[in-house]
Amino acid sequence: MADSNKMTIILFSGEMDKALAAFTLATTAASMGIKVSIFFTFWGLSVLRNGGMLAKKANFLQKMFGFLNRGTKESLPLTKFNFAGAGPEMMKLLMKQKKMASLPELFKLSRELDVKFIACTTSCNVMGLDREALVPEVDEMAGAATYLGEAKESNINLFV
Amino acid sequence: MADSNKMTIILFSGEMDKALAAFTLATTAASMGIKVSIFFTFWGLSVLRNGGMLAKKANFLQKMFGFLNRGTKESLPLTKFNFAGAGPEMMKLLMKQKKMASLPELFKLSRELDVKFIACTTSCNVMGLDREALVPEVDEMAGAATYLGEAKESNINLFV
Amino acid sequence: MADSNKMTIILFSGEMDKALAAFTLATTAASMGIKVSIFFTFWGLSVLRNGGMLAKKANFLQKMFGFLNRGTKESLPLTKFNFAGAGPEMMKLLMKQKKMASLPELFKLSRELDVKFIACTTSCNVMGLDREALVPEVDEMAGAATYLGEAKESNINLFV
């Protein structure tokens, strides 16, 4: 049975604006007593990357992709008006002026509120990421079946 | 309890094609007796902008973003093949040839069908938008908690 | 009543990475006994295009769009790092090295697992596509009302 007090978010996108949306929803939901899981897949894994690290066994192609896609939660691009990184800096400045939580702050808060972080094993495997290349806050590395098991029981399921 | 006759859409994206998808779903659902709320956030707020207006107290950075992101529901870009605005014009012409409703027409129709429009206060605050800078059709300015309250009761929840 | 053993996916996007996410979720869900429908709309229709075909009655503007948007499931771009097609080739090579199923393979598998394919008539009409221009695997051409009828009964509804 679906439970209206459960929510899942697939964070597929690796942009700061989309990650902010996902984490604002996750932290607000958690503070309302909703149990939230975020399933990080594909570009969304950037949020979980530990610096620019890759798995030690990453191959040449993975290193190339890893370099191109080198952002972490501290330095993600915007979906629009990125201007080689000037856009996100402007956005961060604006958010600071308006006293709004930054992505790293929302990330920290979501941990304090017991939001569950699941990293998609399949995507990690393609992108040359392993447990060591991800931040310690990751609860679990799992595949689509784990996500679907949680989504079946959750009333709110979003793909971001 | 989730109600299969309720639906929420988060319109995060500010492109014409995604807004068309959201409004086609919203108007079709409403005409089937489903109660629909659209929560406009981030770039999706463009659909609600009243001409190029910003809040009177908008600061310099907000004015810069507001200028870059100056589209309204009459003039949004496409996610692909935008070609500095030629793409959307071609798409609009094609839709007219095929006698399909344009975004402003679907917007009007969704009001007639009582689709609820909620503008995200947090995003408005970042982007320098206030009630006056938005079209009169907005029902409510509210945050993520209001959205989540509705999503908990809705069976269909989409993030566009 | 929503059924936790039903799932719908709207595939709006026409990129390889997003299509891979949708088909990975669909095939995993189907193999877990969840009934899945994918509703292909707008750029997502590229996955269903039969070679570069358009409807015979496609007009000039539709031919232009059809040419610009000429990818099929064998040749879709990436949302990031596309580099005029080099990105997707690198990604395909990487997936092959890691022994992961390609999009055409997941497409085939999802048919074997009875995932239902619905092509959006409204989008087909705009884009100059008809039944003949789509692959034989399409189960049904239908509009938003058909999608919403299924989504009302499904617990997991995603917009990709």
- Please report which confidence band the pLDDT of residue A69 belongs to, taking 50, 70 and 90 as the band edges: confident
Structure confidence at residue B1 as a pLDDT band (50, 70, 90): low
CB-defined contacts B:C, below 8 A: 77
The pLDDT value recorded for residue B135 is: 96
**What is the model's pLDDT at position C1?**
61
| C97 in reach of chain A (CB within 8 A) | yes
pLDDT exceeds cutoff 70 at A1: no
pLDDT at A94: 87
Q: How many CB atoms lie within 10 A of CB C147?
A: 23
- What average pLDDT is seen over chain A? 93
Residue of A79, A147, A154, A159 for testing the chain C interface, max C β-carbons within 10 Å = A159
Q: Closest chain C residue to B7 measured between Cα atoms?
A: C152
Average pLDDT over residues B41-58: 92
* Statement: residue A80 has pLDDT above 70: yes
Q: Could you report the per-residue pLDDT of C87-100, keeping only the tens digit for each?
A: 888 889 889 988 89
Whether the predicted pLDDT of C133 surpasses 90: yes
Interchain proximity A156–B159, CB inside 8 Å: no
pLDDT at residue A52, rounded to an integer: 78
Task: Encode pLDDT of B60-118 as tens digits.
Answer: 889 888 888 888 998 899 988 887 788 888 889 889 988 899 999 999 999 999 999 99
Find chain B residues with C-beta within 8 A of A44's C-beta: none
Mean pLDDT of all residues in C25-40: 98
- Out of A90-104, C29-43, C124-138, pick the least confident: A90-104
Residue of chain C whose Cα is closest to the Cα of A14? C80
> What CA–CA distance (Å, rounded) separates A60 from A63?
5
Chain C nearest CA to A102, separation (Å): 24
Q: How far is Cα A151 from Cα A37, in angstroms, rounded to an integer? A: 9
- A155 to B43: CB separation less than 8 angstroms, yes or no: no
| Better-scored residue on pLDDT, C71 or B7 | B7
Tell me the residue type at B8. Answer: T
Q: What is the pTM of this model?
A: 0.95
Task: Name the pLDDT band for A71 (thresholds 50, 70, 90).
Answer: confident
For chain B, the average pLDDT equals: 93
User: By the CB < 8 Å criterion, does A41 face chain C?
Assistant: yes
Query: Would you say the ipTM is above 0.90?
Result: yes
- Chain C residues whose CB is inside 8 A of the A68 CB are 80-81
In the predicted model, what is the mean pLDDT of residues C68-87?
86
Query: Would you call C28 and A143 a contact, using CB atoms and an 8 Å cutoff?
Result: yes
**Cβ–Cβ contact B15 with C under 8 A:** no
Query: H-helix or E-strand containing A6?
Result: strand A3-11
Model confidence at A4, pLDDT cuts 50, 70, 90, reads confident
In this complex, do A159 and C159 lie within 8 Å of one another by their Cβ atoms? Answer: yes
Q: Where are the alpha helices (DSSP H) in C32-78?
A: 60-68
Whether residue B155 and residue C65 make contact (CB cut-off 8 A), yes or no, is no
Percent residues over pLDDT 90 in chain B? 69
Contact assignment for A94 to B125 by CB distance below 8 Å? no
The burial class, CB within 10 Å (0-12 / 13-18 / 19+), for C49 is buried
With an 8 Å Cβ cutoff, is C72 touching chain A? no
Lookup result for tokens 């229709």: C45
| C37 touches C150 (CB < 8 A) | yes
Question: Which residues of chain C are within 8 Å of residue B158 when distances are taken between CB atoms?
Answer: 10, 157-159
Calculate mean pLDDT across residues A36-45: 97
Q: Is A157 touching B (CB cutoff 8 A)? A: yes
**C100/A contact by beta carbon, under 8 A:** yes
Q: Residue A111: what residue type?
A: R
Q: Which residues on chain B are in Cβ contact (under 8 Å) with C147?
A: 25
Q: How confident is the model at residue B156 (pLDDT cuts 50, 70, 90)?
A: very high
pLDDT, position A82: 82
A5 class by beta-carbon count within 10 Å (0-12 exposed, 13-18 middle, 19+ buried): middle
